[in-house]
Amino acid sequence: MLHETVNKLIVILCVVITIAKGQDSQCAKGWVHHDESCYMLHTKDKYNWIESQMLCSGHGAHLAYIDDNAENIFVKGLIMQNLTGQGGAHVWIGASDDAYEGDFLWYGIDQPLTFTDWGPGEPNSVRLHLDEDCLVYWSNYHWKWADYNCHAQCYYVCEKSVEDSSVIVG
Ligand SMILES: [Ca+2]
Ligand SMILES: [Ca+2]
Ligand SMILES: [Ca+2]
């Protein structure tokens, strides 16, 4: 019985060590790890959506694709840690309905959204005839999503897979 308990503890300890090691090494410096991806939130200067997309691609990354609630909670948490108190701030992520109005796709992979976290009344560009085709987190909605003018200047969050990150270190 005692032997079994010790064995179990050793297994748990190994798992904990593996996870801890993984979180240290799987993402390059300045990037934070969640699940199979590394993320970098840029809050130094603001850029439009296309510029933000190109800046992420310069890191071997893309504007974040938010696939599920767990990822949304993680990214939102990252934003709140860094931008709490910044009233009116927007953070770009990687979807747009530029091709077909109202039909948001993750750019580069052209995948429809499988999860959404729209703020009240959003997306509203069709209803209000606004020129808003790009996806943001908006502080005024407690960081829920909105469609927004792609030419607006915003902060942005990049994502790349852990595998891509392990190649480019430093
Ligand atoms: Ca993702
Ligand atoms: Ca639109
Ligand atoms: Ca909107």
Task: Kindly write down the DSSP assignment for every residue of 77-116, as one continuous string.
Answer: HHHHHHHTT-TT-EEEEEEE-SSSTT--EETTTTEEPSS-
Answer whether the bond into residue 120 is a cis peptide, omega within 30°.
Answer: no
- For residue 75, give the ligand nearest its CA: 1
- For residue 94, give the ligand nearest its CA: 1
Between the CA of 65 and the centroid of ligand 1 the distance, in Å, is 4
Tally of domains within the chain: 1
- For residue 98, give the ligand nearest its CA: 2
What pLDDT does residue 85 have? 84
- For residue 64, give the ligand nearest its CA: 1
Which token pair is 101? 């109005």
What pLDDT does residue 12 have? 56
> In terms of DSSP H, where are the helices of the chain?
2-25, 49-58, 69-83, 162-167
**Which of 77, 68, 84 is closest to 117 using CA atoms?**
68
Between the CA of 160 and the centroid of ligand 2 the distance, in Å, is 26
Between the CA of 123 and the centroid of ligand 3 the distance, in Å, is 5
DSSP state of 129: T
Which token pair is 22? 């993984």
The whole domain housing 48 covers 2-167
Between the CA of 16 and the centroid of ligand 2 the distance, in Å, is 45
CB distance 31 to 125 below 8 Å:
no
Tell me the pLDDT of the chain (170 aa) as tens digits: 666 766 666 555 544 444 454 445 699 999 999 999 999 999 999 999 999 999 999 999 999 999 999 999 999 999 999 998 888 999 999 999 999 999 999 999 999 999 999 999 999 999 999 999 999 999 999 999 999 999 999 999 999 999 877 655 44
- For residue 109, give the ligand nearest its CA: 1
What pLDDT does residue 14 have? 47
- CA dist 48 and 167 (Å) reads 29
What pLDDT does residue 163 have? 83
**Which of 159, 163, 167 is closest to 31 using CA atoms?**
159
Q: What's the chain's length in residues?
A: 170
- For residue 134, give the ligand nearest its CA: 2
Which token pair is 99? 């091709």
Here the CATH number for the domain that contains residue 134 is 3.10.100.10
Between the CA of 36 and the centroid of ligand 3 the distance, in Å, is 30
b/e map 156-168, b = 16+ CB within 10 Å: bbbbbebeebeee
What pLDDT does residue 165 have? 74
**Which of 23, 42, 27, 6 is closest to 137 using CA atoms?**
42
